[in-house]
Chains A and B, each alone.
Chain A
Amino acid sequence: KAGVTQTPRYLIKTRGQQVTLSCSPISGHRSVSWYQQTPGQGLQFLFEYFSETQRNKGNFPGRFSGRQFSNSRSEMNVSTLELGDSALYLCASSLTGTGYGYTFGSGTRLTVV
């Protein structure tokens, strides 16, 4: 059974650019959540999608957005990148809700220069 796949693994972008990250959940999982991980802040919740609808949202500016497709694959987009957006972005899938626990991908390491 394939795990959660995140692409790309590493990314270097310049301030002001935009970036799109992709996440393919485990087959059959309908919930996809995104987290930003930084050394000082730990894991910060971005948003969760379930059956193509955003079900929960964290406290991030509108530059951070996401979507989910009918096959449960999800993308997140960050526009007008800032240096502080440098982080490991983790995607986590779950069958239907958090009670099942998350399965995480290996993450996308974004560096903004």
Chain B
Amino acid sequence: AQSVTQLDSQVPVFEEAPVELRCNYSSSVSVYLFWYVQYPNQGLQLLLKYLSGSTLVESINGFEAEFNKSQTSFHLRKPSVHISDTAEYFCAVSSSGGYQKVTFGIGTKLQVIP
């Protein structure tokens, strides 16, 4: 069985400040890791993913996440947030191999304060 823990339900941060959204996972096998973002009244959008290879993965809008196997973490970071980053962020895990279900964390609401 696999699980995901997002340690913060809400994270307020001032515009242009850095932010880190924390995610820890539990799995007995190799994993794929994902971050999704959900804007109000919309579905989720894939932000970035780790499948294998480099442990640091980046998105096109400045977010990055680092896979840390020893700490079973996949924290999401951005050096400088914008108002438009206000949304809910979900960390997700699936067993590698591609045919397993994806388990999502409870979500972290990022509120960017002007």
Contacts and interface: CB of A to CB of B under 8 A. Distances in A.
Contacts of A33: 101-102
B41 interface: yes
B104 interface: yes
Interface string B71-111: 00000000000000000001000101111111111110000
Interface in A59-104: 90, 92, 96-104
A98 to B, nearest CB: 4
Interface string B47-65: 0010100000000000000
Contacts of B45: 104
Interface in A25-49: 33, 35, 41-43, 45, 48
A56 B100 contact: yes
A108 to B, nearest CB: 10
Given A98-B32, A99-B32, A99-B96, A45 B44 contact: no
A98 B43 contact: no
A97 B32 CA distance: 11
Nearest to A4: B43
Q: Considering residues B51, B98, B102, B105, which has the most beta carbons from chain A within 10 angstroms of its beta carbon?
A: B102
Contacts of A98: 32, 94, 98-102
Interface residues of A, number: 27
Contact of A102 (B42, B44, B103): B44
Interface residues of B, number: 25
A42 B44 contact: no
Contacts of B101: 33, 45, 48, 56, 58, 98
Contact of A90 (B34, B44, B51): B44
B33 to A, nearest CB: 11
A105 B99 CA distance: 20
B46 interface: yes
A101 B98 contact: no
Nearest to A104: B43
Closest 3 CB pairs of A and B: A97-B98, A104-B43, A99-B98
